[in-house]
């Protein structure tokens, strides 16, 4: 019979073998617990530690690394799907109207700016503003998880939006829109495309807090010990 203390020691064993995520530790500890019980039942002479090490050797030379990698991949895909769902739920009729007004305002401002470098400066200002806006929102949403005491793979994707303002800023700097030799019609096209992408980033940031709140609520129910004070 495995004691509660021995079961808890399996979490330390997982951490020792480079499993940092508490939710993955729970999964592995439960697996090890069941396997150790069967192993001891088949061979009562084995101690808890001997049975544990025997089960662990079955994971091969990589240990738990393959399991962690597969869970990271699976959770990343699930997280992305949830974020896209929240992103698309943003598009109600009032918000679509607001979005079109913002985009039309950007395009109108671009039409008044005849010089390519002036349009680039406008997009630079908008891009920097987006980065600041994204940082502020990230700080606000991160406050929700202050009570989280253990690292969870389940919540690790909360800090990443669907689209990234930093990535689009890099696109802006490397785009031909900054090339003064580019002809006007191509520059207008670049301006419209980048402005549209910035708008998508803005919407992504607005949709992110709802995703974060739902993620927190779900994590508390699934892993209450990770939020215990």
pLDDT score at 163: 47
Q: Nearest to residue 208, comparing CAs of 151, 157, 152?
A: 157
Identify whether residues 159 and 97 lie together within a single domain.
Answer: yes
Q: Is residue 109 part of a domain?
A: yes
What is the Cα–Cα distance from 85 to 88, expressed in whole angstroms?
5
What is the Cα–Cα distance from 188 to 33, expressed in whole angstroms?
63
Angle made by CA atoms 138, 143, 147, in degrees to the nearest 5 = 140
Domain hosting 129: range is: 76-227
Identify whether residues 99 and 59 lie together within a single domain.
Answer: no
- 3-state class of 198 per DSSP? helix
Tell me which residue has tokens 């779900």: 218
Three-state SS sequence of 120-160: HHHHHHHHHHHHHHHHHHHHHHHHHHHHCCCCCCCCHHHHC
What is the Cα–Cα distance from 221 to 5, expressed in whole angstroms?
24
pLDDT score at 205: 76
Identify whether residues 83 and 50 lie together within a single domain.
Answer: no
Identify whether residues 33 and 119 lie together within a single domain.
Answer: no
Q: Residue 17: CA atoms inside 13 Å, Cβ hemisphere, count?
A: 23
Helix axes 93-112, 184-222, angle to 10 degrees: 150
Domain boundary among 15, 34, 63: 63
pLDDT score at 44: 85
Q: Is residue 49 part of a domain?
A: yes
Identify whether residues 45 and 89 lie together within a single domain.
Answer: no
Identify whether residues 109 and 184 lie together within a single domain.
Answer: yes
Domain boundary among 23, 38, 63: 63
Q: Is residue 71 part of a domain?
A: no
Identify whether residues 43 and 104 lie together within a single domain.
Answer: no
pLDDT score at 159: 59
pLDDT score at 181: 39
Identify whether residues 51 and 85 lie together within a single domain.
Answer: no
Identify whether residues 169 and 135 lie together within a single domain.
Answer: yes
Q: Is residue 68 part of a domain?
A: no
What is the Cα–Cα distance from 217 to 226, expressed in whole angstroms?
12
* Count of domains observed in the chain: 2
Return all residues near 171 (Cβ < 8 A) that are at least 6 apart. Answer: 194, 197
What is the Cα–Cα distance from 67 to 26, expressed in whole angstroms?
13
224 DSSP assignment: G
pLDDT score at 174: 53
Identify whether residues 54 and 162 lie together within a single domain.
Answer: no
Identify whether residues 102 and 184 lie together within a single domain.
Answer: yes
Identify whether residues 16 and 111 lie together within a single domain.
Answer: no
pLDDT score at 176: 46
pLDDT score at 167: 55
Q: Is residue 8 part of a domain?
A: yes
Q: Is residue 204 part of a domain?
A: yes
What is the Cα–Cα distance from 20 to 24, expressed in whole angstroms?
8
* Tens-digit pLDDT string for the chain (229 aa): 678 888 899 999 989 888 888 988 898 899 899 999 988 888 888 888 898 988 888 888 878 888 888 888 887 777 777 777 766 776 677 877 887 888 888 778 777 776 667 777 777 788 788 778 777 877 777 788 888 888 888 887 665 554 455 555 555 555 544 454 344 444 666 777 777 877 877 777 777 777 788 888 888 888 888 887 6
pLDDT score at 140: 77
174: how many CB neighbours lie within 10 A of its CB?
Answer: 9
- 3-state class of 61 per DSSP? coil
For residue 158 the two structure tokens come to 């909360």
């Amino acid at each position: 019979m495995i004691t509660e203390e021995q079961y808890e020691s399996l979490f330390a064993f997982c951490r020792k073998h480079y499993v940092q995520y508490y939710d993955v530790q729970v999964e592995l500890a439960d697996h090890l617990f069941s396997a150790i019980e069967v192993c001891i039942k088949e061979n009562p002479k084995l101690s808890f530690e001997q049975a544990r090490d025997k089960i662990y050797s079955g994971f091969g030379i990589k240990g738990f690394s393959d399991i962690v990698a597969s869970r990271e991949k699976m959770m990343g895909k699930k997280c992305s799907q949830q974020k896209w769902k929240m992103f698309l739920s943003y598009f109600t009729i009032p918000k679509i109207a607001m979005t079109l007004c913002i985009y039309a305002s950007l395009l109108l401002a671009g039409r008044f700016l005849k010089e390519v470098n002036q349009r680039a400066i406008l997009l630079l200002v908008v891009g920097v503003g987006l980065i600041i806006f994204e940082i502020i929102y990230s700080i606000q949403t991160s406050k929700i998880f202050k009570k989280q005491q253990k690292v969870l793979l389940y919540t690790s994707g909360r800090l990443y939006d669907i689209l990234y303002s930093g990535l689009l800023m890099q696109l802006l700097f490397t785009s031909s829109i900054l090339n003064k030799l580019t002809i006007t019609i191509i520059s207008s096209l670049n301006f419209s495309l980048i402005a549209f992408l910035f708008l998508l980033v803005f919407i992504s940031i607005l949709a992110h807090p709802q995703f974060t709140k739902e993620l927190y609520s779900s994590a508390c129910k699934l892993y209450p010990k990770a939020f215990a004070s």
